[in-house]
Amino acid sequence: MTNSSISLVQNLGAPAANTAAAAGLLKVLIAAQATGIAVELVNTDKATSGSKLPFWVVLSSPQTTLYDANAVVRFLYKTGSLPLAERISLEQHLEWEEKTLSGLDADSHMEEILAAADARVVWLGNSGAAAAVFFGALYFALSNAKPAALGAFPALQQWYTGQLESPAVTAALPVYSANVIKVLVREEPSLANRNVNSDVEFTYDPAKKVLPVEGQNNILITSALPYVNNVPHLGNIIGSTLSADVFARYSRARGNNTLFICGTDEYGTATETK
């Protein structure tokens, strides 16, 4: 018995694009397009369904429900009928995607994701169950990767470009985009990706002395000592060094010759060490 259509029930509304639910949605849409199966998207009320799962797929023949995206992909591609060696190889890659790749988020593991995927695309090919699963899992990271970062992995970049041109992906992406909430990758802050005005940034050079300059606005800023009598927290600096530092950065940004100095509270330090 075969299915000419399936029902994809979205239980918790549109998922964010950087979630496993969104990746699963894309996997199912690509697999359905590739195998000629129509997908009916159905929204349900969480209070009515009583389920916390983001979505599930209802098959008409046989009458059953699948809750895992990779299980749906396996069903649509009929991977159970593959030769044993080919099926074992496929399952090994899908297991790696389920256990390893799906646990990495693009916000803080972008380079790790790209490197891991680059090592596997040679085996994936441009069609089949594995390609659908991996494209769905990687799409958010690949579509948000900076060109230079993706260009460092030419095999992965070539595979990704080929996938974008495939009929199944071309047909699936508009439906996917209309049913997810778009989000941006938030990179882990580092010295390499920060966006700071160098004129405002404070850099300490012990060999450089800030002295008054005739004819300029010379600004001297001092602050109260950050009194700490327990574990340091934000409140210790809000009323002292933080406000002074903000004003010092503002003063430098205005082009003033600015010196900001402070001291230390040895009593508080002694208390903390005890």
Q: What is the pLDDT of residues 247-266, one digit of tens each?
A: 998 998 888 999 998 876 66
* Per-residue pLDDT, 264: 66
pLDDT value, residue 1? 46
Q: How far is CA 67 from CA 15, 34, 53, in A?
A: 15, 20, 8
What residues does 94 pair with on adjacent strands? Answer: none
- Tell me how far apart the alpha carbons of residues 195 and 223 are, in angstroms, rounded to a whole number: 27
Amino acid letter for position 247: F
18 within 8 A of 106, measured Cβ to Cβ: yes
Phi, psi of 262 (to 5 degrees): -150, -175
Segments in the chain below pLDDT 50: 1, 46-47
pLDDT for res 270: 59
Report the largest interatomic distance among the alpha carbons of the chain, rounded to a whole angstrom.
91
3-state secondary structure of 273: helix
Distance of CA 243 to the CA centre of its chain: 33
Q: Tokens 């089949």, residue?
A: 128
Helix residue spans in 119-242 (DSSP H): 121-124, 129-144, 147-151, 154-164, 167-178, 235-237
222 sits in the region (left: phi over 0; alpha: psi -120 to 50; else beta) called: beta
Q: 225, 260, 252: which is closest to 239 by C-alpha?
A: 225
Q: Which helix (H) or strand (E) holds 6?
A: strand 5-10
Task: Please report the pLDDT score of residue 123 as a whole number.
Answer: 75
Which tokens sit at 152? 């460092």
Q: Is the pTM of the predicted complex or chain greater than 0.85?
A: no
d(CA 93, CA 15): 25
pLDDT of residue 171: 94
Return d(Cα 243, Cα 231) in angstroms, integer. 21
